[in-house]
Amino acid sequence: MIQEAVAEASPEAQANLNEFQARWLDPSELERCHQLQQTLLAVQEQLRGPAPKDELIALDGKEPKHGGGDSVLTAICVPSQYYLGSAIVDTKTNEIPVARELFPDLDLEGRFVSLDALHTQTDTARDLVLEAGADYLLTAKGNQPTVHQNIEKLLPAPKADFPPRQPTPTEFRTLNFEKGLVVSRSIRTQAVSPEQICFPLVAQAARLLRQTEGRQDENITLLTSAQPAKLDAKKWLELNRAAFGGIENGLHQRLDASHNDDRCRIRHPYAMFVAGLFRRISNSLFMEWRSHQPHPEHQTTTDFQAAMGEDHCRAALRLLFAKRPSLKPP
């Protein structure tokens, strides 16, 4: 319908449309977006220092509810929310090739990298381990039925009743009280070979049983390239929980609740990417600001925004123009 309307439009309207497309869809505009990202990353490093080397790196995509169908794939450190980079995922592709193109721009050497089940792909695993020097933490679901079935055959499901106070290197359990509900997480790991699982460079497999009061049990199969000496059951369970909480609760929830990401009507991919950059950098700077407050656990993104806007945005302007900017209280 849109194409027919354009075809029937006046020559003037068609010329304006062609000018718009030449200006906004020019590859040079994407290059400017990347330059802006590098500038914001430099500002973040000046305020927060270099990215923490001991934290998990999590990658995940988010599509704004009222966008044009494009999404933004983001890499962050968790739990610090240190922003590492983003890439546009347009409607003609998906996150899998975009993530692989993003890997070379990130410092992944010796790091644990967590991605959701969509990225449980052989090429992604090889790129992370052989090219980037990282260890992957992946989930096997319906998109990899053979891998999922092989893990279930090799590894018995964890029992929910083994004592949480007597963990072993291959078994661990936690009990937590979350949002008024008791949540039990039990994990059982085992060293495996790539031939057993039919997945490249895998060193361990795991089965995770998540039980929440009043809800159906969840059985999840996991795999990693890290050796048992580097990643035991306790650490694996901690990283699995940190990845989910860091992305869903730490990033996406703040983007939606405090930055109005899902209510934003920006539809052009480059404009959406630029807006997303500022929101994600803001989330990272909020974590730095919060760490210097008397009671950081009670501070929210809204408090940070209010603090920056006080006295005609004096704090925000000082942050922008000071020779040695800092988020510490004056």
In a domain, 138, yes or no: yes
Q: How many domains does the chain have?
A: 1
Take residue 260 and report the two structure tokens written for it: 């109005």
In a domain, 117, yes or no: yes
* Rounded average pLDDT over 221-241: 97
The model's pLDDT over 121-156, given as tens digits with 9 standing for 90+, comes to 999 999 999 999 999 999 999 889 999 999 999 999
In a domain, 21, yes or no: no
Q: In what order do the strands lie in the sheet with 218-224?
A: 82-89, 71-78, 56-62, 112-114, 135-140, 218-224, 204-212, 181-191, 171-178
CB 108 within 8 A of CB 57: yes
pLDDT over 70 at 23, yes or no = no
pLDDT over 80 at 8, yes or no = no
* Rounded average pLDDT over 223-250: 95
* Rounded average pLDDT over 252-259: 94
In a domain, 204, yes or no: yes
3-state SS assignment for residue 103: helix
CB 138 within 8 A of CB 115: yes
Count of residues in the chain: 330
Give the Cα separation of 173 and 188 in Å (integer): 9
In a domain, 181, yes or no: yes
In a domain, 58, yes or no: no
Give the Cα separation of 35 and 47 in Å (integer): 19
The backbone torsions φ and ψ at residue 107, rounded to the nearest 5 degrees and listed phi first, read: -90, 95
In a domain, 322, yes or no: no
- pLDDT the model gives residue 38: 94
User: Could you tell me the pLDDT band of residue 52, with boundaries at 50, 70 and 90?
Assistant: very high
Write out the E strands in the chain: 56-62, 71-78, 82-89, 112-114, 135-140, 171-178, 181-191, 204-212, 218-224
Give the Cα separation of 17 and 14 in Å (integer): 5
In a domain, 125, yes or no: yes
Q: 132 is in which domain, residue-wise?
A: 108-257
Mean of per-residue pLDDT scores for the chain:
89
DSSP 168: B
The model's pLDDT over 94-112, given as tens digits with 9 standing for 90+, comes to 999 999 999 999 999 999 9
pTM score: 0.88
